[in-house]
Amino acid sequence: MCALYRGANAAQASRRPAPLRAVPAAGNAATPSAAPLGPAAARPSALGLLGAPEVAEHIRASIATLEVLQQHAPLLARWAAELALRLERGGRLLVAGNGGSAAEAQHLTAELVGRYDGDRRPFSAIALHGDTSAVTAIGNDYGYHEVFARQVRAHGRPGDVLVLLSTSGKSQNLIAAAGAAREQGILTWALTGSGPNPLSVVVDEALVLDGRNCHVQESQLVAIHALCECFDARIAGSTAGSVSGSAGSREE
């Protein structure tokens, strides 16, 4: 019986707490206790090798997907040029994704509203999944498949760009968003996994990568950074050309 409670006899017992006793170590008392671990460098190296083949294989497969992405460099460069042209004219970038793709979509908008590398003026870019009140209200009232499409109809205008990220290419809410963008006269791009898939065939252009979902997602982040790299170069070139042209007019 627990020492803190002994039924009716406990009321007669002394209130003074009993002295603490040492608790024996678990296991056979005859078994010597393990020696304390020393510094990490002094421990057996076998522990550090556990999982090493899996890590090496993950990196190898990721590199293979990146090599596929490298073949799409001209497409990304063209997208960056078109995006720079539209945003400089006052257009807006709308982006959406689910789960990990939502995080990467929001990464892209942060690079444009904030900055990617060097300083430049901010550009309008909205991650449609970032407004939790709108997402949950639309999902509750119209269904989750409408959470992005309704926002596209609200925020999108002709001349804007919608970028949709999905590793599967099967997300119904992204497919619906592409349809809404088409109704609004918005240019649509998608970054997806293996294709053709339902999303890749309903957008204006798609960057399709073969590979496991995790490697596709890793490569999509590289694609986003490459897009931003080229976008910034286009903006810098456009600004330099504008300044040069203005200087020439003053000289005349």
Q: What is the pLDDT of residue 32?
A: 45
Round to whole Å and give the CA distance between 135 and 86.
Answer: 27
| Residue the block writes with tokens 């709108």 | 134
Average pLDDT over residues 132-136: 97
Q: What is the pLDDT of residue 177?
A: 98
Instruction: Inform me whether the pLDDT recorded for 35 exceeds 90.
Output: no
Average pLDDT over residues 5-34: 46
Average pLDDT over residues 94-108: 96
User: What is the CA angle 208-209-215, rounded to 5?
Assistant: 145
Q: What is the pLDDT of residue 5?
A: 35
> pLDDT tens digit string along 49-87?
777 899 999 999 999 999 999 999 999 999 999 999 999
Q: What is the pLDDT of residue 14?
A: 45
> Higher confidence at residue 36 or residue 108?
108
Strands (E), the chain: 93-97, 125-127, 161-166, 187-192, 205-208
> pLDDT tens digit string along 137-159?
999 999 999 999 999 999 999 99
Lowest mean pLDDT across 10-19, 97-106, 122-131, 159-168: 10-19
75: Cβ contacts below 8 Å, ≥ 6 apart: 205, 207
Q: What is the pLDDT of residue 50?
A: 72
Q: What is the pLDDT of residue 46?
A: 58
The domains located in the chain, with CATH, are 65-236 (3.40.50.10490)
Round to whole Å and give the CA distance between 51 and 30.
Answer: 35
What percentage of the chain reaches a pLDDT higher than 90?
72
Average pLDDT over residues 123-135: 97
Max mean pLDDT among 12-16, 181-185, 241-245 falls in 181-185
Phi, psi of 190 (to 5 degrees): -135, 145
Max mean pLDDT among 5-9, 25-29, 186-190, 209-213 falls in 186-190
Contact 181, 151 (CB under 8 A): no
Instruction: Inform me whether the pLDDT recorded for 38 exceeds 70.
Output: no
Report the candidate in 218, 184, 169 with the shortest Cα–Cα distance to residue 64: 218
Average pLDDT over residues 239-250: 49
Instruction: Inform me whether the pLDDT recorded for 109 exceeds 70.
Output: yes
Q: What is the pLDDT of residue 48?
A: 61
Q: What is the pLDDT of residue 243?
A: 47
Round to whole Å and give the CA distance between 6 and 22.
Answer: 22
* Mean pLDDT taken over the chain: 84
Average pLDDT over residues 43-51: 62
